[in-house]
């Protein structure tokens, strides 16, 4: 009790999600070697702000021992892209990422086969190392530019690979979120002071993007818990039909947000990754709801929890 009609309380929420829909979701990519020794990655997954174009390019760079700058991403175009179930169900990094891994493995084999024609040896004598094809027995090597040139002269092998992936399992990411609030007993207004969270999404492929995605999901969760409401007139018209009437949280409404990662290694995911897309929106509602309960003695069963709901609510007997 702060002594001025306000009370501070804290709540906690824990959740688990999934990584795609097991046995259903499909991810596909095509990766090919360009004339100048760089790569073109063609994907069917749409980047909706999650950064999947960057993440999938990073995976190619890691597999092919090159810079991310050497990977161009051709985004989703149903006329030209390989099939992908879509950017939903927290599936892109986990499912499409494994397709990238498979395609890179196939491309390395294809590039070695093309180089074997030029070096007049068996492809089994060659290996792909540090972004070039090497014949360890003799020390001979071919750069990617040379391989690309050979692929255009007296060659029957395309310097590209397409791969698909569908997972029979859906390993769950986990998250815990803790909210500290200040509640005004007279007006019912709830202010989020602090929100601390820990996420287990396997190995974060891009920690910066993962953190931003987590922070964005938490802000969304705070918004749908305390503000975002849809009501209708007797004729069915939505009253909150514009941003003047549909309340969204601003930076001033979200308090201090902290995100930490507890890494685990998921053997069925690319580089040990699981999903992070949806798990991050799941904990604000239960955490804030429990904090309100601890401040007022009332459990609220519907969202949003508006100030008038808090003022008019009575403790359960």
Element (H, E) at 190: strand 190-200
End-to-end CA gap in the chain: 23
Task: Return d(Cα 301, Cα 21) in angstroms, integer.
Answer: 28
Q: What angle do CA 279, 283, 286 make, to 5 degrees?
A: 145
- Of 266, 273, 222, nearest to 248 (Cα)? 222
Annotation marks residue 278 as catalytic: yes
Number of residues assigned to the chain? 317
User: Given the structure tokens 């931003």, which residue do they identify?
Assistant: 212
Output the six-digit token pair for 26: 């499909």
Q: Count of CB atoms within 10 A of residue 49's CB?
A: 11
Which one is catalytic: 62, 140, 215, 278? 278
Sign (positive/negative) of CA torsion 91, 95, 101, 107? negative
Q: Would you say 41 and 72 are in contact if contact means Cβ atoms under 8 Å apart? A: yes
Task: Return d(Cα 64, Cα 103) in angstroms, integer.
Answer: 11
Element (H, E) at 223: helix 207-226
Q: Which one-letter DSSP state was computed for residue 273?
A: B
Q: Would you say 295 and 231 are in contact if contact means Cβ atoms under 8 Å apart? A: no
Which residues are designated catalytic? Answer: 278
């Amino acid at each position: 009790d702060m002594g001025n009609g306000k009370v501070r309380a804290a709540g906690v929420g824990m959740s688990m999600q999934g990584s795609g829909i097991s046995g259903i979701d499909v991810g596909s990519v095509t990766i090919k070697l360009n004339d100048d020794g760089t790569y073109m990655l063609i994907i069917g997954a749409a980047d909706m702000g999650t950064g999947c174009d960057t993440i999938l390019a990073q995976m190619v760079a890691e597999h092919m021992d090159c810079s991310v700058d050497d990977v161009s991403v051709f985004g989703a175009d149903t006329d030209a892209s390989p099939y992908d179930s879509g950017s939903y169900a927290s599936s892109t990094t986990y499912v499409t990422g494994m397709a990238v891994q498979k395609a890179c493995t196939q491309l390395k084999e294809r590039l070695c086969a093309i180089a074997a024609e030029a070096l007049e040896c068996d492809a089994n004598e060659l290996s792909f190392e540090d972004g070039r094809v090497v014949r360890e027995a003799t020390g001979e090597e071919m750069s990617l530019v040379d391989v690309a040139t050979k692929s255009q002269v007296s060659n029957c092998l395309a310097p590209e690979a397409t791969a698909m992936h569908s997972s029979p399992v859906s390993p769950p990411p986990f998250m815990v979120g803790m909210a500290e609030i200040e509640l005004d007993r007279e007006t019912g207004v709830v202010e989020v002071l602090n929100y601390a969270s820990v996420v287990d999404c396997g190995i974060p492929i891009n920690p910066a993007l993962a953190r931003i995605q987590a922070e964005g999901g938490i802000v969304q969760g705070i918004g749908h818990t305390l503000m975002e409401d849809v009501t209708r007139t007797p004729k069915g018209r939505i009253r909150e039909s514009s941003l003047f009437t549909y309340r969204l949280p601003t930076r001033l409404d979200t308090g201090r947000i902290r995100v930490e990662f507890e890494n685990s290694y998921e053997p069925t995911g690319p580089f040990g990754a699981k999903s992070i897309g949806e798990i991050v929106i799941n904990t604000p509602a239960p955490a804030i709801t429990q904090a309100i309960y601890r401040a007022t003695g009332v459990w609220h069963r519907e969202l949003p929890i508006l100030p008038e709901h808090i003022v008019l609510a009575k403790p359960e007997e």
